[in-house]
Amino acid sequence: MSGRAQLMWDEAVTGYDFGPGHPMDPVRLALTMRLVEAFELDRGPLEVVAAKPAGDSTLRLVHREDYIEAVRAASADPSAADVSYGLGTEDDPAFVGIHEASALIAGQSVGAAEAVWRGDVLHAVNFTGGLHHAMPGGASGFCIYNDAALAIARLLELGAERVAYVDVDVHHGDGVQAAFWEDPRVLTISLHEHPRTLFPQTGWPEETGGEGAEGSAVNVALPAGTGDEGWLRAFHAVVPELLGAFRPQVLVTQHGADTHFEDPLAHLAVSLDAQRSVAESCHALAHTVADGRWVALGGGGYAVVDVVPRSWTHLAAIAAGRPIDPASVIPDAWRHEVFRRTRQLAPQRMTDGRAPVWRDFGEGGYNPADRLDQAVLATRRAVFPAHGLLP
């Protein structure tokens, strides 16, 4: 094994740019990489690698050929974007090079999966990925190609028999669920804000997988306003037991930072410190259930200065085996770069000043009047019996 962890990065991923005013500002990617460099994670603990863009044969593992051709056509001439494929919409405006930028991001996630499966590294991170809304035949929710689903599909193609996907983005991981709805080899777990109050209005606990794959889709629909304690309680009440029963050979996780209380597009109230705690838990779970094989992706996150770079730098540091103390002062050089690029004042430390704690669901008891506990129990009742577990 050549190294402990790999970070996938190609500066050209910042070409994934829907234009001025769009929430998915690629500055969040550049600032994250600059913060990784400011903490010198790229000088030893992390091997920084650029993978090739995903080619058509790889994209076809998940996406329909007619959709790929539609993306390619929009890439050459954005005015020709076909809205029937979700292209040229307010969420997914077409731009010159949209195919190339999207394929490059997908290639980084596929490359990460390949490196982990081959045993080149134990952990691989692609924070530019996690574009989990893209469907086999259409763009959706700022996502053109579903790199998370493509990485999983590539693992299956290479011989993996059980892959688990855990998605903690504030939005439901609908595209990944759809890609493997009838595939019992893939367990998809999504914790997200309740579909009654947030796009894409899917991810109900009753969505549990297609015929022959019952229990392979797991959805925890969290009440709007859920904060650190409830978010962590829900994660630990569902994820570890299911992963322990499923015993994946590889763990793929998606770490959308839009659960944060400062995020402008959603309604959870999670801190950076709780996000870091879940990243640490995913790392530990990979070692417990998957012999350490871990592919970690980014995702949503629209507080592009205050939240996203810090959250994903913590993720990269955890994967590298050199976690950053939350009390650490952020290097001045990065803060100056933030102001130069955005005219915003940057955060000064790697913490929101929280010390997240939660009550264990098994030991702490179930409160039938609590909406968070109701959500957790609905999920456990829907899927735990399919895995031989008691709800």
Q: Could you give the residue numbers annotated as active site?
A: 133
Q: 3-state SS string over the chain?
A: CCEEEEEECCHHHHHCCCCCCCCCCCHHHHHHHHHHHHCCCCCCCCEEECCCCCCHHHHCCCCCHHHHHHHHHHHHCHHHCCHHHCCCCCCCCCCCCHHHHHHHHHHHHHHHHHHHHHCCEEEEEECCCCCCCCECCECECCECCCHHHHHHHHHHHCCCCCEEEEECCCCCCHHHHHHCCCCCCEEEEEEEECCCCCCCCCCCCCCCCCCCCCCCEEEEEECCCCEHHHHHHHHHHHHHHHHHHHCCCEEEEECCCCCECCCCCCCCEECHHHHHHHHHHHHHHHHHHCCCCEEEECCCCCCCCCCHHHHHHHHHHHHHCCCCCCCCECCHHHHHHHHHHHCCCCCCECCCCCCCCCCCHHHHCCCCCCHHHHHHHHHHHHHHHHHCCCC
Question: What's at 344, amino acid-wise?
Answer: Q
Distances (CA, A) of 387 to 19, 156, 187, 245, 287: 45, 21, 11, 6, 21
Residue with the two structure tokens 């430390």: 349
The dihedral through the CA atoms of 324, 326, 327, 330 has a sign that is positive
Residues forming beta bridges with residue 221, ordered by sequence position: 192
CB atoms within 10 A of CB 257: 33
Helix axes 228-246, 371-383, angle to 10 degrees: 10
Length of the chain: 391
Which among 190, 223, 224, 235 has a CA at the least distance from the CA of 208?
190
